[in-house]
Homo-oligomer: A and B are copies of this chain.
Amino acid sequence: MSDVRILVVDDEVQILRALKTNLEAREYAVSTASDGEEALRLIADVNPDLLILDLGLPKKSGLDVLRSLRTWSDIPVIIVSARNGDPDKIAALDEGADDYLTKPFSIGELMARVRAALRRRVQTEQSAIVVTPDFEVDFSKGVATRRGEVVHLTPLEWKIVGVLVHSEGRLVTQRSLLSEVWGPHYDNESGYLRVHMTHIRRKLEPEPARPRYFRTEPGIGYRFIADGGPR
């Protein structure tokens, strides 16, 4: 048995079983989920190397799963859906999916795409939890705390914090921040960002007027410093 873990999410039992059988025949370790919330729970739990995700799910749609997953994880995701319209494909790919197959698909092709996705897997091992002297952010649970107290973050704030924290110490241009958060077409209009940065700082920074963790690089973008750095 290989040590590659794959999570398959689909609400149709027979498809779930067929995929599981085929993947296990190739010696992958397979977990399964049949709705969106269970999927997110299992992702945090088993920490799979790859996700095969149906779009039409109960509880939480596949797109929702993908969206919240992408705030803290870069594992490859292959979408498997009955919808074959352009808008669906483009939306899923732009939300961070790595591949998109339309049902019905050939098992052989899916397996080849699984191999392709796993081949370029990079060992980033980014932790889902970020701890600073002043606050903590747990992306897998979706909980942020400041000095023990839970602070509420909106979806957009989660995404912005996710992008910045994910590339810790690195200067993130507002251009790439915008396109990673709002999608590839909103690569200017930085007016939004300033407002949300204010909110994030008010919620997390010990002294929002003089940010230590979420720093501004004027004219370029923002940078997250995990230990607060010198000041």
Which residues in A have some Cβ–Cβ distance to B below 8 Å? 74, 76, 86, 89-90, 93-94, 96-99, 106, 108-109, 111-113, 115-116, 119-120, 122-124, 140-143, 150, 154-155, 158, 169-171, 184, 217-220, 223, 230
A217 to B158, CA, bound (A): 12
Does the CB pair B74–A90 fall under 8 Å?
Answer: no
Contact status of A123 and B171, CB under 8 A, knowing A89-B109, A116-B93: no
Contact, CB under 8 Å: B154 / A218: yes
Which residues from chain B contact A99 at a C-beta distance below 8 Å? 99, 116
What is the bound-complex CA distance between A170 and B138, given in angstroms? 10
A124-B124 in contact (CB<8A)? no
Could you say which of B106, B108, B143 contacts A171, with CB atoms under 8 Å apart? Answer: B143
Q: Shortest CB–CB separation between residue A226 and chain B, in angstroms?
A: 14
For A123, the chain B residues whose CB sits under 8 A away are 74, 122, 124
Contact: A116 with B97, CB < 8 Å? yes
- Measured CB to CB, the nearest residue on chain B to A183 is B115
22 contacting pairs across A/B (C-beta < 8 A): A74-B120, A74-B123, A76-B120, A90-B108, A90-B109, A93-B113, A93-B115, A93-B116, A94-B112, A96-B119, A98-B120, A99-B99, A115-B184, A120-B120, A122-B124, A140-B170, A141-B169, A142-B217, A143-B169, A154-B218, A155-B219, A155-B220
A112 touching B93, Cβ below 8 Å: yes
Query: Please, how many angstroms separate the alpha-carbon atoms of A94 and B114 in the complex?
Result: 10
| Interface-central residue, A86, A96, A218, by most chain B CB under 10 Å | A86
Cα A36 to Cα B198 with chains together (Å): 53
Chain B residues lying within 8 Å of A219, measured Cβ to Cβ, are 154-155
**CA–CA, A184 and B115, complex, Å:** 8
The smallest beta-carbon distance between A209 and chain B, in angstroms, is 19
Give every chain B residue within 8 A of A113 (Cβ-Cβ).
93
Cβ-closest chain B residue relative to A94: B112
State the CA gap A74–B122 with chains docked (Å).
12
Chain B hits for A218, CB < 8 A: 154-155
Q: How far is the CB of A126 from chain B (nearest CB, A)?
A: 10
Q: Determine the chain B residues whose CB is within 8 A of the CB of A217 once the complex forms.
A: 142
* CA A97 to CA B99, docked complex, whole Å: 12
Q: How far is the CA of A155 from the CA of B90 in the complex (A)?
A: 34
